[in-house]
Amino acid sequence: MGEKLRKLLVLYASQTGNALDAAERIGREAERRGCAASIISTDEFDTSSLPHEEAVVFVVSTTGQGDSPDSFKAFWRVLLQRNLGNSWLQRVRYAVFGLGDSGYQKYNFVAKKLDKRLSDLGATTIIEKGLGDDQHPSGYEGTLDPWMLSLWSALYQINPKYFPKGPDVAIPQNEVIDQPKYRILYHKREKLEPELLAESDIIQRARGISPGKIVKEKSKPDCFLKMTRNEVLTKAGSTKDVRHFEFQYVSSTIEYEVGDVVELLPSQNPSDIEAFIERCDLDPESFITVGPRETENTGSCGEVITQLPIKLTNFVELTMDVTSASPRRYFFEVMSFYATAEHEKERLQYFASAEGRDDLYNYNQKERRSVLEVLEDFPSVQIPFEWLVQLVPPLKPRAFSISSSPLAHPSQVHLTVSIVSWITPYKRTRKGLCSSWLASLTPEQETNIPVWFHKGSLPAPSQSLPLILVGPGTGCAPFRGFIAERAIQAQSSPVAPIMFFFGCRNKDTDFLYRDFWESHTREGDILSEEKGGGFYTAFSRDQPKKVYVQHKIREMSKKVWDLLCDGAAVYVAGSSTKMPSDIVSALEEIVSEETGGSKEVASRWLKDLEKAGRYNVEAWS
């Protein structure tokens, strides 16, 4: 008897779904070449069995400022155990593919540290790690496609049993299609219990059965909020529309701290939901349950997802993002099988191919076409609902830094939100789903908004901790909460000083919360110089030469350094593009000047500050 065929293990850690998508693509491409593949999330894999695996492909994303996905954290803790030794993985061959954004300072940090740790534990690399970049003209797939071809060749060199017909012989995409992962059961309305028709706890029911859950998140909202204020902060002439929103609790009150984050589940336009259901020839009144198809458990859908039936319309509107998120490449491949018009089939097959990758990126991601728009562009396609449930991007809650303090604003939650709107390369206006929906709400509507609270990257500081806050634009949001809270604390006990650096384009049109900040700079108040603090502004477009917050930090170098020497913590919030790294550079210069040390010494000094929990960044794209 010959040696049995090899099986490839693909482990992924995904926060938004991109790493899962890439992992499934690697698995599909391996199977098209005759190699079976298991695709498992790192939080569902028994890490103790890792030394017994022969070949493992890791697909991991990096979020924010070098953070790992939630599903990776427990797995990573196991790998860091000191007792494992440098031969623990000596029989294992591995390859790492990372997904990141080179606009961030810690680009693909998780993939890089995983690659090093696996090597330290004795594992042998199959090929050099691949680093997918959101900034690439074709997104991460621009790196993934050639990296996979190298992977197949390297695996074949190691053992031809992986690909019995060779690494280059693949079943053509237009000749094979998988079964969908999920099955839909339809229930007769008259046989359902009356309380099911009342649709109580409907959000929990819908999101509890949605296969779009990337991590084991809570399905049931922590509570519901109701808007009490919708105020435009920017003035006429501004290029932005920034709003101040206030909410009160509808039912239970949730305890939160300054620096925390709240996630809101946005509502999709009802007419778009109706159009999607009609386009897909679905019965909006039908009741469904969703469960895994009976297949070998690959780890990605091995649990019974559903319990109670839910109306199809509610399931779509609460779990499937049909109006704002762009579908992934595999969606076009599956669509091609259901296209009855030949010209549509050919175009979809081209989009799904390696040759059509760039054109697909320009048509789909760059234009941010929604699932509904794509389906309307290919009218001959009629995809079964099972495939749509699997492939339509999940509707995700949107996260915002809380801009209030529970001490200063009891029973309230405040948010500072930039209303997102942009023009695509083909001159189409696109709007952010959540921000534009919030902007459209009024207190009179009394809309109940489902929300979840969680810790962000900015831990609540004790009142005795001196603070250096940097929050240009809407980055000022969490620091409004910090300063409001410390002002209340100062009424009854001593508090440490705060230096706050704020920036925007124009003083007259974009100076968010101007009265609030200035009121706290008055003599003896929280941001006053007499109290050892200060408020410093950079209006980048109010003079010929642009001035940013990092320039103001350099101007105040002596005071910044003195406060750091007094034990101050640095908090930075705002845009993730260049700002966080510009702040690091400015502080490195200050440390270098004040200590007489080199840039490398200054860099290490700041890294030590970060390790001590005194350098915290919350950035968003």
Q: Please say if the pLDDT value at position 300 is more than 50.
A: no
Interior CA angle at 182 toward 179 and 183, to 5°? 100
Feature table: binding site for NADP(+)? 474, 540-541, 546-550, 582
pLDDT for the residue numbered 297: 41
67 closest CA partner among 610, 477, 612: 610
Burial 422-452 (b: 16+ CB within 10 A, else e): eeeeeeeebebbbbbbbbebeeeeebebbbb
pLDDT for the residue numbered 198: 44
Whether 52 contacts 90, CB under 8 Å: no
Q: What distance in Å separates the CA atoms of residue 364 and residue 367, rounded to the nearest whole number?
A: 5
Q: pLDDT above 70 covers what percent of the chain?
A: 92
Q: What are the start-end ranges of the E strands in 402-548? A: 412-418, 421-423, 429-431, 448-454, 467-470, 498-504, 534-539
Question: If pLDDT is split at 50, 70 and 90, which confidence band does 210 have?
Answer: low
pTM: 0.87
Question: If pLDDT is split at 50, 70 and 90, which confidence band does 305 have?
Answer: very low
Q: Please say if the pLDDT value at position 45 is more than 90.
A: yes
Q: Please say if the pLDDT value at position 539 is more than 70.
A: yes
pLDDT tens digits for range 48-101:
999 999 999 999 999 877 889 989 999 999 999 999 999 999 999 999 999 998
- Ramachandran area for residue 283 (φ above 0: left; ψ -120 to 50: alpha; else beta): beta
DSSP character at residue 2: P
Mean pLDDT, the chain, integer? 90
Q: Please say if the pLDDT value at position 295 is more than 60.
A: no
pLDDT for the residue numbered 218: 64
Better-predicted residue by pLDDT, 131 or 36: 131
pLDDT tens digits for range 461-511:
999 999 999 999 999 999 999 999 999 999 999 999 999 999 999 999 999
Q: Please say if the pLDDT value at position 4 is more than 60.
A: no
Feature table: binding site for FAD? 368, 398-401, 432-435, 620
pLDDT for the residue numbered 134: 85
Feature table: binding site? 14-19, 61-64, 134, 368, 398-401, 432-435, 474, 540-541, 546-550, 582, 620
pLDDT for the residue numbered 276: 98
- Ramachandran area for residue 237 (φ above 0: left; ψ -120 to 50: alpha; else beta): left
Question: If pLDDT is split at 50, 70 and 90, which confidence band does 524 have?
Answer: confident
Q: Please say if the pLDDT value at position 404 is more than 50.
A: yes
pLDDT tens digits for range 213-261:
544 456 788 888 999 999 999 999 999 999 999 999 987 788 899 999 9
* Site of tokens 């400022």: 65
Q: What is the DSSP string of 342-389?
A: HHHHHHHHHHHSSTTHHHHHHHTTTTT--HHHHHHH-TT----HHHHH
Q: What distance in Å separates the CA atoms of residue 315 and residue 289, rounded to the nearest whole number?
A: 9
Helix, strand or coil, per DSSP, at residue 276: helix
Feature table: binding site for FMN? 14-19, 61-64, 134
Lowest mean pLDDT among 166-175, 370-379, 395-404: 166-175
pLDDT tens digits for range 425-460:
989 999 999 999 999 999 999 999 999 999 988 999
pLDDT mean over 135-154: 90
pLDDT mean over 517-526: 92
